[in-house]
Structure 1
Amino acid sequence: MLQVNKFEHLRIRLIDIKLATNNFSKESRLQYTNSYIVYKGDLECFDREYVSSLENKKTGELPKRRYNNVRIKRINNANPEAMFHTEIEVLSTCKHKNIVSLLGFCDEGRHKILVYESTDMNTSLQECLGKYPWDKRAAICYFIARGLNYIHNEMEDQKVVIHRQISSKTILLHNEQCIKISGFGLSTFLSSNQDEDAGHLHKNLLDPISDWYMAPEFRETGKATKESDIYSFGLVMFEILCGIPYPLYRRSDAELRSEHWFTYGTIKQKVAQAIKEENYDNKLFLKKGPNEDSLDTFIKITEQCLAVNPQQRPTLQVIIKQLRKALMFQKSHKDHMRMAFKDIESATQNFSRANDIGGGGFGRVYKGKLASEHGSYTIVAKRLDTRLGQGDQQFYNELHILSEYKHENVIGLVGYNNDEQERIIVYEYASKGSLDNYLNDASLTWINRLNICIDVARGLAFLHGGVREHEAVIHRDIKTANILLFDEWKAKVADFGLSLICTISDETDYVIDYPCGTPGYLDPLYQKSRILTKESDIYSFGVVLLEILCGRSTYEVYKHEGRFLLSLVKQRLKEGRLAEVVFNATEDQIVRQSLTTILVVAFRCLHNDREKRPTAQDVLVQLQKALELQVKDVPVSKEP
C-alpha cells in the first residue's frame, strides 16, 4: 500500500472524479483498452497542498482548485495493485517537460484511478509513425532521449528510474514539439550504487506489445538496466525511421531482425517512403529525401542502441549529442533555399540595367534566368539596399513568412542569399507583372478582374486564418502594386517585408505597432490608434476593390484631385453619378447585380468601425457570388 502521509497531497476524492467525468460516461471517454479506460473532464478538487491544520479539515473549509481538460485513467481491477502504486511513486518525483505530469490519484474501495494534467497528450507515437517529415521525426527522438536522460541521470537526490516498458505506445504526443514518456506502472527505482533492478519482472505483467521491445538480456533474466531502456529506445528510433510499428515487421517474418538490416546495409531501403519523397516544395535545387549526413547519423546511433552486448550501447548523453547533430545536418539541408551569390549574379547578368525591372523601399528588383538540372527557369531577385531605409529585419521577416506559409495565391519563394553584406530574395517570376499596371487596361475584362479579386481574397483568407492554429499573418501593405499576375491572370499576394505574425487568442487578436503602409490604402483606425488587426488588411483590400472597379489607382486620384479614391466614389454615389467613376472599358460588361455585390462588399471593407468589416473568408464568398451572378447573366457588349 501507499505511504498515506507521503502522498496524501495527491489524493483526489472519487466524488470529484465522478463529477468531472459525468459518472464515467461514454461521452467523457477518450480511450478504451483491456487494461484501462481514459476519460477527459474539468476537475474541481480540494487543494491538499495548502491544508495546514486539522481544524480546517473539521470545518470543511479546505481550499479548492480547478483543473481544465484533465486526463483520467481508470485502471482495470485485473491489473496488479503494485503497478498502480509504482506509477504514483515514480511520477510524484518526476518533474520534466518530457515526462507525463501526475495531478493525483484515487484509491477509494475497488477504484484505482490516476489523474494527469492534460487531455492533449492522448495520442501515442505508435498511432502516427508515418505522420511527420524527417526533421520532425528526429526532433521527436531527441525529446524522448531528453526525458529518458532525466529519469536515468538527472533526478533529485540522485534517484534513478528504469522505465522497463519504453515503446512507441508509451510515448504520448500532442505534436512534434510536445512529447512525453508515460507508462510507468512497471518502472523501478535504483539506488545510487545499483546497476540494475534487483527484482525479477514476470513476463505476464508486461503489455503484450511491450514484450516486443525488451532487450535480449532483459528478456532472459527479467532484470532491467539503463542499457535495456536504451535498447527499447533504439527500437522506437527504428520505427521512426521505417514508419511502421516494429511488431508488424516481426510478425510478418519470423526470421527478420532489425540488426540484420544494419549488418547487410539494407536499412536505407527500409526508410519510410514518405521520408524518401520529401521535397519541401522546391523543384529547382532540392534532391528528394532527407539530408544524407542527417540520415546516416541517425542510423548509426540507432544501430549502436540495438547492440546485443549492453556494454556496447551508448549512454543517453551520447545519444542526445548525436541526435542534436542529426538535427543540425537536417536544418542545414532544410536551408536548401540558400543560393550562392555568384549564381544569382550570373542569372541576372551581374544585376545589369537591362534586367532591372523596378524597385522600392527595399531596393532594386531584377529579372533573370537560372539554370538547374531541370532546365532554365525565369526568376526575380530583390536585392536589399540598406541605404534606402529598410534592412535586415524586413529581409528576414519576409524570408520567414514565405518559407513557412505557402499557398497558391501567395508569391512563391525560390531562394535567398545573405552572404556578408548581401541580402537577396529570389521569387518565382510573375509573367504579367503587378496589378497596378492593368487598372486602366481594357484588355483586363470584368470577369478577369473578378477572378483576380477572388485570388487575392483567397490568399488573404489563408494568411489570416488558414496558416496555423492561433496565428495570423497581417500583410500591412495590401495594394495593387503588391498583387502579382501570372499566366491566365492568376493573382498572388506579394511583398511581405512589412508583414507581422500575430498570435490569436480569446483575449487578444491585435498588435500594437507604429503605423506603416502606403497612404491611400492605410487603415485610418490603425493610423490613429496604432492597433493593428486583420481588419486593417481588409480596409486596404477594400481600396483595391474600388481601384479595380474604377480603373484608377487611389494614388493617381490623389495626385490629380487632392483626395483619395474612396472620397471620390462616396461623393459620386451620393450625387447619383456612380457610373462616372466605373471604368468605361468594362462598364458595359458588368451585370448590375454583380456591380451591386462588389460595391456592398467594398464599402463593408472600408467601414469606419473595424468590428463591422467582413473577414477575408466573408469577402471571398461575396466575390464568388458576384462572379456567379456575372457569368449567369453576361450582358452583350455594345457595338463600337
Structure 2
Amino acid sequence: MSQGKSLEHLKIVLTDIELATENFAEKYCIGSGGYGKVYKAQLEHFDSSNWSSKEGVNKYDLPKRRSTVAIKHIFNPEGKEGFITEIETLSSCKHDNIISLLGFCDEGPDHMILIYELASRGSLENYFESDDKMTYLTWVQRIKICLDIAHGLKYIHTNTDQDKQKIIHRDIKSANILLGDNWEAKIADFGLSKIHPADQEASTLNTHTIAGTNVYLDPEYKKYGRLNKKSDIYSFGVVLFEILTGRLAYDRIYTKVNKKGIAPIARHHFENGTLIEIIDHKIKEEAYGHVFALSKGPNKDSLDIFSEIAYRCLVETQAQRPTIDDVIHKLKKALQAQEKSQKENFKMSLEDIKSATQNFSDDNIVGRGSFGNVYKGVASHANGHTIIAAKRLDRRLFGHGETEYFRELDIPLKYKHENVIRLVGYCDDEIEKIILHEFASRGRLDGYLSDASLTWVMRLKICIDIASGLNFLHATDVNQEVVIHRDIKSSNILLFDDWKAKIAGFGLSLVCPVNKDIDYVIDDAAGTIGYSDPLYSKTHFLTKESDIFSLGAVLFDILCGKQSSIKLDDEHVFLPFLAKNRYQVGKLDELVFEGIKEQVDLQSFVTYARIAYQCLHHKRERRPKAGEVVIQLKRALEFKVS
C-alpha cells in the first residue's frame, strides 16, 4: 500500500479477529453479499479519539479501546483493489458523516478484512425494502438524513485542508448509507472511489472503466467517461427521490417502465406537476408524531423546496447540476419550513386543556415547581383518549418566566428521541401559557432511589437511557445543533410503565449554534447545587462536559440510593464529592445502597464506578463523552446478565 508504515496503527492480526468471532461463526454474521460477509463482534482496536500523532511510536504503545464493531471479510480475490482503495481512502477521512475505519487485516487473499465502527441501524436501503421499517422515518428524520449525506459529500469533495486529497465516491446509493443510533447517516463503501490529488488543476477525470450501480450512475459519466464531483451529485439526487418516494431506485414499479429506474420517472412527474402521485403514502399520512394533529402530510413549502433541489441534482448535464453547498442550503430551508409548520400544528385550545384537566382541578395536580403546577389530564382526540401532563406557567411569572417556557416548548418539539420527553401540545395566549407532555406514569426517578424493588439491572437500564438521551442532545452528528441541558438531576428524569427513562426539565437549557465552539460564557451560572459542575459554577464557563459532571452525580444517586445532598455525621455533604473521595481510597462499596448490594456483581460494579468517577473529573477534557458513558454502562449490564 502506498501509505506503508503510516497504516501500522490500523493493523489487526487475524488471530484476534478469529477469537472475537469464534472463527467467523454464523451467529456473528449480520450481512452477506458477492464480496463476502459482515460480522458483528467485540474487538480491541486503535483509539483515534485519544491520539493526535502516530509517527515514530511503537504500535504497542498506541492507545486502544474495545468496542462492538463491524467486520467485513472479503472472500472474492477480485476485491483486492477495492480493499486497498477503501483502506487508503478511509484512513485519511475523519468526519461524523463518513464511516470510520477502525482497522484492517491483510494476511493473504483469503484474509482481506476491514474493521468499521458499527452503524447500529444498518443501511438506509433496508428501510425501503420493508413497509414496516419505513414508518419509523418521519419527514423531518428523512430530511436530516439527507443533510447528513450532503455534509459527508461536502467533506470528501471540498475538504478545506489543502494537503488532503479530494475524493469522488462513484457509488453513492442507499445501500452505502449507514444509520447510527440517533439516525445519523454515514457514507460507506469507498471501494470504487477515485482519489483526486489536491494539486491537480483539472476538476474532471477521464476514465476508461465505468464503475458504479446502473440506476444511480451519472449519464454523462456513463456515456463519455467524464467523472467529477457532479457525478456524485447525480447519484445523491437518486437517493433523495428514494427517500421522498419510499422506494428503491430499482424497484420493479420503475424498472418495468424504464431500465434506468427512478430518475427519468421522477423528472417526468416533477416537470408535469404530478409528483404527489409517487410520494411515499406514509409521508402523506404522517401526523407529525402526535395524536392531536389537525392536518397530515409534509408542509407544502418544505416538500416543494426538497423536490426542486432533488430534481436539479438529476439534470443530465453535469455543469447544470447544483453544487453541494446549494444542496445543503436548500435542504436546510426544507427542514426549517417543516419544523415551523409542525409547531403550529401542536397548538391546542385552552378549552380543550381545561376539559382534559377538569378545569385545572387541585385533585389533578401531580407536581409543583418554580415554573408552576403540573396537572394530569385525559385529552380526547379522533383516535380515543390520551393521558397527558399539563405544565401551567404561574401567571406571576408572566413577563419574566417566558424564556423557560419557550425552552420547555421548543427543545422537545425539535429534538425527538426515545429518551427525551415528548411534547404533546401547547397553549400560548394572553392569559395562559401551558405545555403538554406525555404522562410519565411512574413519576420522577428521585422517588425510587431508596426503593429496593428497583433492582440493579433496572437501575443500569435507566442509566443507559439517561446517557443515551444526553448523547443525542449533545449531537454526535456535527450538523445538528447542540443542546446543553444545564440541569441534569434525578428529579428531571421521568419514568414510564416499562421503566424507560426520559430526560425532562429543559427550562434552563441552551441550544448552541451549528459548527461553532461549544464553549459559552454565561453571566449567571444556572443549575442545581450538588449536581452542577463546580468549574461552571466558579467560572460561569459552560460546555457539554458540564452536563457530564451532572450525569456522574445522577449515576452515584442511583448506585447509592440517595439524592445529591445528604446528611452525614450531622453535616450536609454533596454525594458526588463524597463518592469521589471514597472511590479514590477504594471504599466506594461502603456507599452502595443496601437494598441492591447483594445484586451488584464485582465486574459490573467496577465498570460502573469507573465511568461514574470519570464523569466527575475536575478537568473537563478528562471527562468522557456521553456516548462513551453509554458504552461502558452497557458493558456493566453485560457483566451482570451474562
Structure 1 segment 447-466 matched on structure 2, within 5 A? none
Give the conservation status (yes or no) of the 8 Å contact 2:416–2:422: no
TM-score by length of 2: 0.60
Q: What residue in structure 2 maps to residue 101 of structure 1?
A: 100
Q: What residue in structure 2 maps to residue 154 of structure 1?
A: 159
**CA offsets per residue over residues 278-297 of structure 1, 9 Å max, x none?**
11354555301122111111
Question: Is 1:12 matched with 2:56?
Answer: no
Question: Is 1:322 matched with 2:330?
Answer: yes
Residue segments in structure 2 that go unaligned for 5+ positions in a row: 129-133, 440-457, 471-487, 497-503, 510-530, 532-546, 568-572, 577-592, 600-642
- Structure 1 residue 477: Cα displacement: 10
Q: What residue in structure 1 maps to residue 606 of structure 2?
A: none
**Pair 420,466 (structure 1): closer, same or farther in 2 beyond 3 Å:** farther
Give the conservation status (yes or no) of the 8 Å contact 1:145–1:316: yes
Give the conservation status (yes or no) of the 8 Å contact 2:286–2:298: yes
- Rounded to whole Å, the distance in 2 between the matches of 1:95 and 1:312 is 30
Residue segments in structure 1 that go unaligned for 5+ positions in a row: 430-459, 484-495, 514-521, 533-607, 615-640
- Rounded to whole Å, the distance in 1 between the matches of 2:194 and 2:505 is 55
Q: What residue in structure 1 maps to residue 394 of structure 2?
A: 384
**CA offsets per residue over residues 221-243 of structure 1, 9 Å max, x none?**
23321111100000001001111
Give the conservation status (yes or no) of the 8 Å contact 1:67–1:117: no
Q: What residue in structure 1 maps to residue 258 of structure 2?
A: 254
SS of aligned partner of 1:99? coil
Give the conservation status (yes or no) of the 8 Å contact 1:337–1:416: no
- Rounded to whole Å, the distance in 1 between the matches of 2:254 and 2:74 is 29
Q: What residue in structure 1 maps to residue 180 of structure 2?
A: 174
One-letter amino acid of the counterpart of residue 425, structure 1: I
Q: What residue in structure 1 maps to residue 67 of structure 2?
A: 68
**Pair 63,175 (structure 1): closer, same or farther in 2 beyond 3 Å:** closer
SS of aligned partner of 2:250? helix
Question: Is 1:224 matched with 2:196?
Answer: no
Q: What residue in structure 1 maps to residue 477 of structure 2?
A: none
Q: Which deviates the most, 411-420 or 67-76?
A: 411-420
- Rounded to whole Å, the distance in 2 between the matches of 1:23 and 1:333 is 53
**Pair 464,499 (structure 1): closer, same or farther in 2 beyond 3 Å:** farther
State which of 238, 243, 252 in structure 2 corresponds to 1:240: 243
Structure 1 segment 488-507 matched on structure 2, within 5 A? none
**CA offsets per residue over residues 47-94 of structure 1, 9 Å max, x none?**
9975748xx79xxx7667343223221222342422222112211221
**CA offsets per residue over residues 3-23 of structure 1, 9 Å max, x none?**
534544433333333333333
**CA offsets per residue over residues 476-511 of structure 1, 9 Å max, x none?**
499xxxx9xxxxxxxxxxxx8699999999x95826
Give the conservation status (yes or no) of the 8 Å contact 1:152–1:226: yes
Give the conservation status (yes or no) of the 8 Å contact 1:96–1:147: yes
Q: What residue in structure 1 maps to residue 21 of structure 2?
A: 21
* Aligned residue pair count: 475
State which of 411, 415, 430 in structure 1 corresponds to 2:425: 415
Question: Is 1:510 matched with 2:554?
Answer: yes
**Pair 389,135 (structure 1): closer, same or farther in 2 beyond 3 Å:** closer
TM-score by length of 1: 0.60
One-letter amino acid of the counterpart of residue 10, structure 1: L
Give the conservation status (yes or no) of the 8 Å contact 1:357–1:367: no
- Rounded to whole Å, the distance in 1 between the matches of 2:338 and 2:315 is 25
Give the conservation status (yes or no) of the 8 Å contact 1:10–1:103: yes
- Rounded to whole Å, the distance in 2 between the matches of 1:165 and 1:52 is 36
Q: What residue in structure 2 maps to residue 138 of structure 1?
A: 143
**CA offsets per residue over residues 329-388 of structure 1, 9 Å max, x none?**
111122135549xx6499989xxxx967559654589999x99999xx999883432459
SS of aligned partner of 1:41? strand
Structure 1 segment 456-495 matched on structure 2, within 5 A? 470=468, 476=491
- Rounded to whole Å, the distance in 2 between the matches of 1:107 and 1:70 is 18
SS of aligned partner of 2:205? coil
One-letter amino acid of the counterpart of residue 16, structure 1: D
- Rounded to whole Å, the distance in 2 between the matches of 1:298 and 1:234 is 10
Structure 1 segment 532-551 matched on structure 2, within 5 A? none
Q: What residue in structure 2 maps to residue 604 of structure 1?
A: none
State which of 185, 190, 205 in structure 1 corresponds to 2:196: 190
Give the conservation status (yes or no) of the 8 Å contact 1:197–1:224: yes
Question: Is 1:200 matched with 2:208?
Answer: yes
Q: What residue in structure 1 maps to residue 39 of structure 2?
A: 39
**CA offsets per residue over residues 31-57 of structure 1, 9 Å max, x none?**
21111222233334689975748xx79
One-letter amino acid of the counterpart of residue 314, structure 1: P
* Aligned Cα root-mean-square deviation (Å): 5.4
- Rounded to whole Å, the distance in 1 between the matches of 2:307 and 2:563 is 57
**Same amino acid, percent of matched pairs:** 35
- Rounded to whole Å, the distance in 1 between the matches of 2:280 and 2:396 is 45
SS of aligned partner of 2:319? helix
Q: What residue in structure 2 maps to residue 83 of structure 1?
A: 82
SS of aligned partner of 1:156? coil
- Structure 1 residue 97: Cα displacement: 1.1
- Structure 1 residue 327: Cα displacement: 1.0
